[in-house]
Amino acid sequence: MRNLVLGALCTYLLGCVDASQQQANEKSQGLVYCAEANPVSFNPQVTTTGSTIDLIASQLYDTLISIDPETAEFKPELATSWAVSDKGKSITFTLRQDVAFHSTDYFRPSRTLNADDVVFSFSRLFDVYNPYHFVGDAEYPYFQSVGIDQLIRKVVKVDDFTVRFELFNAESSFLSNIATDFAVILSQEYAQQLIAQKNKAAFDHLPIGTGPYKYKNFLRDNLIRYHRNEKYWKYPVPMQQLVFDITTNGTSRIAKMLTKECDITAHPSATQLSVLKDREDIRVDKAANLNIGYWAFNTERPPFDSLLVRKALAHSVDFDKIMQAVYYGNGILARSHLPPSSWAFQAQDNIPRYNPELAKQFLKEAGYENGFSMTLWAMPVSRIYNPNARKMAELIQSDLKAIGISAQIIEYEWNTFVERIGKHEHDSVLLGWAADTPDPDNFFSPLLSCTATFSGKNPANWCHPEFDLLLTQALDTTDITLRKTYYYQAQQMLIDQLPLIPIAHGVRFQATSNDVTGVTLRPFGGISLGQVRRN
């Protein structure tokens, strides 16, 4: 009997050890990233939301070329080489061979990547005869805002591994835009399968790419699960699984880091950094980032269509106080729409600063001596350019009250927030932009051009033909000196017209468990987790 008990106990204990070892093995082969929002889509072509791009772009897809974050030079990716001819109006790409698309529960590719996939991926943006052009209401916000859909005349398959882009005119930022996280290559074969299944709507939600991970499942407000792409062309992917834990509350994300439920967390706030830095098992990385946080006004809606009112609002807020209370010294007070590290940056000496008496004078001149009521929309997520929009909104609300303006703070769930801003339902909004490329145009065309207004991605709802002409002139030349001249004028015009007030350039922080390596913070673009490993 005693031997039976001992035997049973040993079996039980061995079972516990085996289970514990299995759990440890699973943990070592997987990574959990605490993310701040649900994805808007699983196709980067149809969104510009930074939180979504972080979750999907570099994890699931590849682009033809990329930009080296240190040298800013173009690097080969799915294209091994490229040549520019016809005075910049023709760009020919030679494609990499033997690149496999994802094989999943819902798609089994019968061939590797070829020119048909590239033609399909880009023709969707502008060709009304592409069967997927109108899927998702034909909205391709980044490409429409920078005019790529109007720039490409056609994409030609030269042979199975050669593609030629023919443009209506040369544009100095074309290659930069082709290198963004939005310009991913999709599977034409998968698209054709969904047409046969009469299920084209699934194309942007059940993704197929060539990236380091492939899609497994998504539970809204809970998680996204990816599995390793065993056939990834670029390098062996170390982790078997990548899980994005959707945790919208910043405090909860930090709590999960402390309890080891997450290995990496996005955008810890300045107030949480001291807690994290005291931990020997957590590493806090910090990096400069090309970004701008701003306060935009709906310039098509009274009274914000009045420059005097916009000047009053600009002079009513103590931005130095915001830098202390929101950024905690981890940001740079904006002197222009462009960050100081941009090669086209020029500090604007006449940028509005705190002067409530001058603000009241402007209100009186505009006919609003007794003030007015307005809405102030604050994004519900923490981003590089604005770590705490709610707190910033409350500070602005207090300053506005001092000059007789009553501001109601409006918040929505992130995806709803983005959708309603795109419909210009706001009076004013606290938002921002993190660059996708180091080209200065990336701070202008996607946010403030007339085409960006038409596509719903211009939060100021501002269309100024003279401003657009400056952008066009800057894009029509490769002469850096000339481009700087045009961008200097564009920066000055933004301060003169004040469709938005540039507030600050934030610093990117990331908290990572010390046993995790292979993830780096880039100055532009989304995150890449393909080479992350656990030591």
Q: What is the pLDDT confidence band of residue 28, given thresholds at 50, 70 and 90?
A: low
What is the average per-residue pLDDT within 506-529? 90
Rounded distance, CA 248 to CA 466, Å? 40
Q: What is the pLDDT confidence band of residue 522, given thresholds at 50, 70 and 90?
A: confident
What is the average per-residue pLDDT within 416-442? 95
487 DSSP assignment: H
Among candidates 501, 502, 535, 496, which has minimal Cα distance to 518? 535
| Edge-to-edge strands, sheet with 162-167 | 79-85, 90-95, 162-167, 152-159
Could you report the per-residue pLDDT of 242-255, keeping only the tens digit for each? Answer: 999 999 988 899 99
Length, in residues, of the chain: 535
Among candidates 298, 474, 313, 478, which has minimal Cα distance to 405? 313
Q: Domains in the chain: how many in total?
A: 3
What is the average per-residue pLDDT within 77-103? 97
What is the average per-residue pLDDT within 362-372? 97
Asked whether 257 and 276 are in contact (CB, 8 A), the reply is yes
Check whether residue 122 and residue 242 sit in a common domain.
no
Task: Confirm whether pTM is higher than 0.85.
Answer: yes
pLDDT at site 1:
43
CATH label of the domain that carries residue 273: 3.40.190.10
Angle CA 406–407–409, to nearest 5: 150
Q: What is the pLDDT confidence band of residue 268, given thresholds at 50, 70 and 90?
A: confident
Could you report the per-residue pLDDT of 101-123, keeping only the tens digit for each? Answer: 999 999 999 999 999 999 999 99
What is the average per-residue pLDDT within 394-403? 98
Rounded distance, CA 34 to CA 426, Å? 30
Check whether residue 458 and residue 330 sit in a common domain.
yes
Higher local confidence (pLDDT), 289 or 229: 229
Angle CA 99–100–106, to nearest 5: 155
Both structure tokens of 324: 């202390």
Rounded distance, CA 505 to CA 289, Å? 8
Percent of the chain at pLDDT > 70 equals 95
Statement: residue 148 has pLDDT above 50: yes
Both structure tokens of 132: 């997927």
Rounded distance, CA 274 to CA 362, Å? 42
pLDDT at site 27:
54
Check whether residue 513 and residue 501 sit in a common domain.
no
- Distances in whole angstroms, Cα of residue 71 to Cα of each of 20, 68, 74, 115, 508: 46, 6, 9, 29, 19
Could you report the per-residue pLDDT of 448-465, keeping only the tens digit for each? Answer: 999 999 877 899 999 999
Is residue 172 in a domain? yes
CATH label of the domain that carries residue 386: 3.10.105.10
Asked whether 326 and 535 are in contact (CB, 8 A), the reply is no
Largest Cα separation within the chain, whole Å, is: 98
pLDDT at site 278:
83
Is residue 6 in a domain? no
> Domain containing 263: what range?
30-38+212-286+509-534
Check whether residue 356 and residue 500 sit in a common domain.
yes
Check whether residue 439 and residue 313 sit in a common domain.
yes
